[in-house]
Structure 1
């Protein structure tokens, strides 16, 4: 008889976790006799019984005792990990009406969601996204990189687009639960990271241009390697003089979904010429450096690190903010270009 493992208990972040019934059923169906979700309270301990030999062959680490922070990893060639979509196990959904009150969120099996053709996000682009990562340490524990900053940035963007937004606490909790539910997809140390994509969309149906009557907050995750194919090697940027990413008074300083479709044409043209990405100039004078399609930019000369001033057309990057703080602590001078 196959040994069964009782899942639940305390996650690497110190939070208790119990999946939704749908998520539990999906995991049970996928794992067969090797796993089952306990209906006991979330504080229940995790069984340390090893998996059967057949399962151990499929998962190299499966024969080791299961301990908090060191879950079995999915059977995957981590050395070949790039930056493309790899479906994982679960995603997080939380819904809200126009009154701004969110329902209790839940983990569900990863997959398509149902949207009305008249949804505001499909017709008018009323939607925001975020991006952050989870990293695995040598001891198996998992770290998130400044998720509170992403939560605050989403709230600022939601205010600009007349959308209710999750509280910082709701956002961070959703991210943590989603990472925990997919922790077997967090790459080993040095092999990559788990990319986390929170989204807030106007999912309610509406005909005219107006705020949607309902909203959906989604979090899904995906293991990734480096964003650029050459990893941490230097990249080549093409200065774009025809197209602009943002204009004064627009939405360049929030992470709205509409900001990204517009860069695809210039980005494709740059890649056809052998460059990795596009460096955008300001839309007024067409000569001042602003940012790249997917990130902020810094210039380093001697002991001075410079970056463009945030004037409403540049996304206030969390990495940007972190680099400025770290550079100052290391004795570099930080210059904000006017």
Structure 2
């Protein structure tokens, strides 16, 4: 008999809930062990672990979706695996094989099937793989051992209110340094964002927008998400920079814009002084999916896009198509969907 949970799916936020199983694998003496599912959600590591002192760690985020016919599917987990390995190469950590990454995610979802929210609730199962440097180490050098783990949590919308425009403010802080770690998914990037985010919220905004660290003239990221804009002649435009995390959601939207909606797609510089070229704008990422941008505060000017209260038609179609693919309602490009069996 399948386990049942007493979760009010409609009231879920984006917060931690302990589920039953997580996957753990250890790298030691030059190789990964076989890995296993465990029930304990607490980690015991050396006080000298490089993850604690030198930030040698990375993570990913993806989701499992319940379809109308009750199936459970993943959205592009291979892309998450490849992105994590790119981060590992940047931080001198051992890569975790793509096939094993996907298998570990599938094991965790299947073992926690009771926590996959029902179709139609708007909730999903958020999956968090991470890889950290552990073991006894004091000098600034790669760890002697590493830990790879995957856990999952049922979540509701990242921003309450669903697909509703929110406002952002441009910050003077930099998210990442030129030629630094902005293009990989390391925890330090997010630690650096905590203060700018808090300051933005205190001023009444959802989050802040980061400009390029070299010139402070070009939009790079929107909080922990990627930026996109729809020009007045219906082009899908998103910034390009080595400091921007390559969002799987963003590249999926680029494909949808071109192949499903017949829009021209451009990955190029987006200048903060040229917001008038866009009739709609949004932030995108795994957690938030798409967050429509109502307006952006830059210095003493507040620029409104489509509306502060209503979502533009192009953004709405992008959102409906992407979520339709994820929940099995819209045919997906080949290789995007992995079914849990």
- Give the TM-score range, shorter chain: 0.7 to 0.9
Pick aligned residue for 2:87 from 149, 154, 157: 157
Q: Distance in 1 between matches of 2:106 and 2:136?
A: 30
* TM-score between both structures, scaled by the size of structure 2: 0.76
Aligned length: 266
The correspondence of residues 75-154 of structure 1 with structure 2, limited to 5 A, is 75-97=6-28, 99=30, 101-154=31-84
- What is the CA–CA distance in structure 1 between the aligned matches of 2:231 and 2:179, rounded to whole Å? 32
Residue 314 of structure 1 aligns to a residue whose secondary structure is: coil
C-alpha distance in structure 1 between counterparts of 2:29 and 2:90, whole Å: 15
Deviation of 1:72 (Å): 4.8
Structure-2 change in CA distance of 1:155 and 1:98 (3 Å): farther
Residue segments in structure 1 that go unaligned for 5+ positions in a row: 6-70
Contact 1:129 1:198 in 2 (8 A): yes
Three-state SS of the structure 1 residue aligned to 2:149 is strand
Show structure 2 runs of 5+ residues with no match. 270-341
Q: Find the aligned partners of 1:217 and 1:260 in 2 and give their Cα distance.
A: 20
Residue aligned with 2:237, SS: strand
Aligned to 1:250: 180
1:73 Cα offset (Å) = 3.9
> What is aligned with 2:102?
172
Contact between 1:88 and 1:110, CA under 8 Å: does it hold in 2? no
Q: CA deviation at 1:124?
A: 0.5
Give the Cα separation in 1 of the matches to 2:248 and 2:231. Answer: 22
Superposition RMSD on alpha carbons, in Å?
1.1
Residue 64 of structure 1 is matched in structure 2 by: none
228-237 or 208-217, larger mean C-alpha shift: 228-237
1:99-119 Cα deviation digits (max 9, x unpaired): 2x1101100004111011100
Give 1:231's aligned residue: 162
Instruction: Give 4+ residue runs of structure 1 displaced > 3 Å after superposition.
Output: none
Given the alignment of the two structures, is residue 205 of structure 1 paired with residue 136 of structure 2, yes or no? yes
- Within 2, Cα distance between the matches of 1:273 and 1:113? 37
Give the structure 1 partner of residue 126 of structure 2: 195
Q: Which residue of 2 aligns with 1:14?
A: none
Aligned ranges for residues 266-285 of structure 1 at < 5 Å? 266-285=196-215
TM-score calculated relative to the size of structure 1: 0.77
Check whether the contact 1:110–1:220 (CA below 8 A) recurs between aligned residues: no
Q: What is the CA-CA distance between 1:98 and the residue it aligns to?
A: 5.3
Report the secondary structure of 1:111's partner residue. coil
Name 2:216's counterpart in structure 1: 286
Query: Matched residues in 1 for 2:3 and 2:265: separation?
Result: 43
2: CA distance, partners of 1:82 / 1:231:
11
In 2, distance between residues paired with 1:80 and 1:225?
Answer: 7
**By how many angstroms is 1:230 displaced?**
2.6
* Secondary structure at the counterpart of residue 53 of structure 2: helix
SS at 2:134's partner residue? Answer: coil
Report Cα offsets for 1:120-150 as digits up to 9, x if no partner: 1001010000000000012111010100000
Q: Determine the C-alpha separation between the residues in 1 that align with 2:204 and 2:221.
A: 19
Provide the C-alpha distance between the structure 1 equivalents of 2:111 and 2:21, rounded to a whole number of angstroms. 6
**Contact 1:175/1:196, CA 8 A, preserved across alignment:** yes
Distance, in Å, in 2 between the alignment partners of 1:183 and 1:111 is 17
The structural deviation recorded for 1:300 is 0.8
